[in-house]
Amino acid sequence: MKLLKERILQDGKCFEGGILKVDSFINHQMDPTLMKAIAVEFVRRFASERFNKVMTIEASGIAPAIMVGFLLDLPVIFAKKKKPKTMEHMLSARVFSFTKEREYDICLSRDFLTPGDRVLFIDDFLANGNAALGAIELIDQAGAQLAGMGFIIEKAFQQGGGILRDRGIHIESLAMIDSLDNCRIHIRD
Protein backbone atom coordinates (compact mmCIF):
# COMPACT_ATOMS: atom_id res chain seq x y z
CA MET A 1 0.00 0.00 0.00
CA LYS A 2 1.85 3.00 -1.40
CA LEU A 3 0.47 5.69 0.91
CA LEU A 4 1.37 3.68 4.00
CA LYS A 5 4.86 2.82 2.78
CA GLU A 6 5.59 6.48 2.03
CA ARG A 7 4.36 7.49 5.48
CA ILE A 8 6.50 4.85 7.20
CA LEU A 9 9.58 6.05 5.31
CA GLN A 10 8.75 9.68 6.08
CA ASP A 11 7.72 9.45 9.76
CA GLY A 12 8.75 6.01 11.04
CA LYS A 13 11.71 5.77 13.38
CA CYS A 14 14.00 2.83 13.98
CA PHE A 15 14.98 1.66 17.45
CA GLU A 16 17.58 -0.79 18.68
CA GLY A 17 16.37 -4.39 18.75
CA GLY A 18 14.44 -4.21 15.49
CA ILE A 19 11.64 -1.98 16.72
CA LEU A 20 9.89 0.42 14.38
CA LYS A 21 8.27 3.42 16.02
CA VAL A 22 5.19 4.73 14.24
CA ASP A 23 3.68 6.62 17.13
CA SER A 24 3.16 9.87 15.22
CA PHE A 25 0.49 8.28 12.97
CA ILE A 26 -0.52 4.80 14.28
CA ASN A 27 0.47 3.97 17.86
CA HIS A 28 -0.02 7.18 19.81
CA GLN A 29 -1.09 10.11 17.66
CA MET A 30 -3.33 8.62 14.97
CA ASP A 31 -4.06 9.77 11.44
CA PRO A 32 -7.73 8.93 10.79
CA THR A 33 -7.47 9.59 7.05
CA LEU A 34 -4.61 7.10 6.72
CA MET A 35 -6.47 4.70 9.05
CA LYS A 36 -9.53 4.87 6.79
CA ALA A 37 -7.38 4.14 3.73
CA ILE A 38 -5.85 1.19 5.61
CA ALA A 39 -9.31 -0.17 6.40
CA VAL A 40 -10.48 0.25 2.79
CA GLU A 41 -7.44 -1.78 1.70
CA PHE A 42 -8.18 -4.53 4.27
CA VAL A 43 -11.80 -4.69 3.07
CA ARG A 44 -10.57 -5.04 -0.54
CA ARG A 45 -8.03 -7.75 0.32
CA PHE A 46 -10.47 -9.82 2.39
CA ALA A 47 -13.40 -9.38 -0.02
CA SER A 48 -13.32 -13.10 -0.88
CA GLU A 49 -13.61 -14.17 2.79
CA ARG A 50 -16.81 -14.64 4.72
CA PHE A 51 -16.82 -13.26 8.28
CA ASN A 52 -19.33 -11.70 10.66
CA LYS A 53 -17.02 -10.15 13.28
CA VAL A 54 -13.80 -8.17 13.42
CA MET A 55 -11.41 -8.91 16.29
CA THR A 56 -8.28 -7.25 17.61
CA ILE A 57 -6.20 -6.79 20.79
CA GLU A 58 -6.11 -3.54 22.73
CA ALA A 59 -4.87 -0.92 22.28
CA SER A 60 -3.26 -0.25 18.91
CA GLY A 61 -5.38 -2.70 16.93
CA ILE A 62 -8.62 -0.98 17.90
CA ALA A 63 -8.37 1.94 15.46
CA PRO A 64 -7.88 -0.10 12.27
CA ALA A 65 -10.33 -2.77 13.48
CA ILE A 66 -13.13 -0.31 14.17
CA MET A 67 -12.60 1.34 10.79
CA VAL A 68 -13.01 -2.06 9.10
CA GLY A 69 -16.07 -2.82 11.23
CA PHE A 70 -17.54 0.56 10.37
CA LEU A 71 -17.03 0.09 6.62
CA LEU A 72 -18.62 -3.38 6.69
CA ASP A 73 -21.20 -2.66 9.37
CA LEU A 74 -19.88 -5.51 11.54
CA PRO A 75 -19.32 -5.72 15.31
CA VAL A 76 -15.75 -5.29 16.56
CA ILE A 77 -14.39 -7.09 19.63
CA PHE A 78 -11.05 -6.51 21.28
CA ALA A 79 -9.18 -8.81 23.63
CA LYS A 80 -8.26 -7.03 26.86
CA LYS A 81 -4.82 -7.16 28.38
CA LYS A 82 -6.09 -6.89 31.97
CA LYS A 83 -8.75 -9.21 33.35
CA PRO A 84 -11.69 -7.05 34.45
CA LYS A 85 -13.19 -8.27 37.77
CA THR A 86 -16.63 -8.00 36.23
CA MET A 87 -15.96 -10.13 33.16
CA GLU A 88 -18.08 -13.26 33.06
CA HIS A 89 -17.51 -16.40 30.97
CA MET A 90 -13.96 -15.47 30.23
CA LEU A 91 -11.66 -16.92 27.57
CA SER A 92 -7.97 -16.28 28.16
CA ALA A 93 -4.59 -16.96 26.59
CA ARG A 94 -0.99 -16.16 27.55
CA VAL A 95 1.09 -14.02 25.18
CA PHE A 96 4.76 -13.07 25.20
CA SER A 97 5.16 -9.39 24.38
CA PHE A 98 7.91 -8.64 21.88
CA THR A 99 8.18 -4.95 22.77
CA LYS A 100 7.78 -5.29 26.56
CA GLU A 101 9.72 -8.58 26.82
CA ARG A 102 7.31 -10.13 29.29
CA GLU A 103 4.27 -12.40 29.35
CA TYR A 104 0.72 -11.16 29.75
CA ASP A 105 -2.77 -12.62 29.50
CA ILE A 106 -5.33 -11.58 26.93
CA CYS A 107 -8.98 -12.19 27.66
CA LEU A 108 -12.34 -11.94 26.02
CA SER A 109 -15.87 -12.67 27.15
CA ARG A 110 -17.50 -15.77 25.67
CA ASP A 111 -20.61 -13.62 25.35
CA PHE A 112 -19.08 -11.84 22.35
CA LEU A 113 -17.29 -14.72 20.59
CA THR A 114 -19.40 -17.79 20.08
CA PRO A 115 -19.44 -21.01 18.02
CA GLY A 116 -20.59 -20.09 14.54
CA ASP A 117 -18.74 -16.76 14.52
CA ARG A 118 -16.30 -16.26 11.65
CA VAL A 119 -13.63 -13.74 12.63
CA LEU A 120 -11.36 -11.35 10.75
CA PHE A 121 -8.43 -10.49 13.03
CA ILE A 122 -6.76 -7.07 12.54
CA ASP A 123 -3.66 -5.71 14.32
CA ASP A 124 -1.03 -3.03 13.94
CA PHE A 125 2.15 -5.18 13.80
CA LEU A 126 3.09 -8.77 13.05
CA ALA A 127 6.52 -9.60 14.50
CA ASN A 128 7.05 -13.06 16.05
CA GLY A 129 3.35 -13.83 15.89
CA ASN A 130 2.76 -14.34 19.61
CA ALA A 131 -0.14 -11.89 19.84
CA ALA A 132 -1.74 -13.44 16.74
CA LEU A 133 -1.31 -16.98 18.16
CA GLY A 134 -2.93 -15.82 21.41
CA ALA A 135 -5.87 -14.45 19.44
CA ILE A 136 -6.18 -17.77 17.56
CA GLU A 137 -6.23 -19.58 20.91
CA LEU A 138 -9.15 -17.41 22.08
CA ILE A 139 -11.01 -18.07 18.80
CA ASP A 140 -10.41 -21.83 19.23
CA GLN A 141 -11.56 -21.77 22.87
CA ALA A 142 -14.77 -20.06 21.76
CA GLY A 143 -15.38 -22.69 19.06
CA ALA A 144 -15.38 -19.87 16.47
CA GLN A 145 -13.59 -19.87 13.08
CA LEU A 146 -10.77 -17.66 11.82
CA ALA A 147 -11.40 -16.16 8.36
CA GLY A 148 -8.13 -14.23 8.00
CA MET A 149 -5.59 -11.97 9.68
CA GLY A 150 -4.67 -8.47 8.53
CA PHE A 151 -1.68 -6.48 9.77
CA ILE A 152 -0.82 -2.88 9.03
CA ILE A 153 2.91 -3.64 9.24
CA GLU A 154 4.65 -7.01 9.05
CA LYS A 155 8.28 -7.23 10.05
CA ALA A 156 9.19 -9.90 7.53
CA PHE A 157 12.58 -10.52 9.14
CA GLN A 158 10.80 -12.03 12.16
CA GLN A 159 9.12 -15.42 12.26
CA GLY A 160 5.41 -14.59 12.73
CA GLY A 161 4.47 -14.38 9.04
CA GLY A 162 6.02 -17.78 8.31
CA ILE A 163 4.35 -19.46 11.28
CA LEU A 164 0.88 -18.15 10.37
CA ARG A 165 1.19 -18.78 6.60
CA ASP A 166 2.44 -22.33 7.30
CA ARG A 167 -0.86 -22.92 9.09
CA GLY A 168 -2.67 -22.00 5.87
CA ILE A 169 -4.14 -18.81 7.29
CA HIS A 170 -5.06 -16.02 4.86
CA ILE A 171 -2.62 -13.28 5.92
CA GLU A 172 -2.55 -9.77 4.48
CA SER A 173 0.10 -7.24 5.51
CA LEU A 174 -0.12 -3.75 4.05
CA ALA A 175 3.58 -2.94 4.49
CA MET A 176 6.37 -5.51 4.66
CA ILE A 177 9.53 -4.42 6.43
CA ASP A 178 12.45 -6.50 5.15
CA SER A 179 15.04 -5.09 7.51
CA LEU A 180 15.68 -2.47 10.16
CA ASP A 181 19.44 -3.16 10.18
CA ASN A 182 21.67 -0.23 11.07
CA CYS A 183 18.51 1.68 11.95
CA ARG A 184 17.51 1.99 8.29
CA ILE A 185 13.99 1.09 7.17
CA HIS A 186 13.90 -1.26 4.17
CA ILE A 187 10.33 -1.70 2.89
CA ARG A 188 9.42 -4.25 0.23
CA ASP A 189 8.11 -2.74 -3.06
Annotated binding site: 20, 27, 127-131, 155
Instruction: Provide, rounded to whole angstroms, the least separation between the CB of residue 79 and ligand 5GP.
Output: 11
**Which DSSP string corresponds to the chain?**
-HHHHHHHHHH-EEETTTEEE-TTTTSSS--HHHHHHHHHHHHHHTTTS--SEEEEETTTTHHHHHHHHHHHT--EEEEBSS--TT--SEEEEEEEETTTTEEEEEEEEGGGS-TT-EEEEEEEEESSSHHHHHHHHHHHHHT-EEEEEEEEEEETTSSHHHHHHHTT--EEEEEEEEE-GGG--EE--
CB nearer to ligand 5GP: give 19 or 52.
Answer: 19
Binding residues for xanthine: 20, 27, 155
Instruction: Provide, rounded to whole angstroms, the least separation between the CB of residue 156 and ligand 5GP.
Output: 12
CB nearer to ligand 5GP: give 64 or 129.
Answer: 129
Instruction: Provide, rounded to whole angstroms, the least separation between the CB of residue 19 and ligand 5GP.
Output: 4
Instruction: Provide, rounded to whole angstroms, the least separation between the CB of residue 107 and ligand 5GP.
Output: 16
CB nearer to ligand 5GP: give 17 or 115.
Answer: 17
Residues making contact with ligand 5GP (CB under 6 A): 19-22, 27, 60, 98-99, 123-132, 155, 160
CB nearer to ligand 5GP: give 52 or 128.
Answer: 128
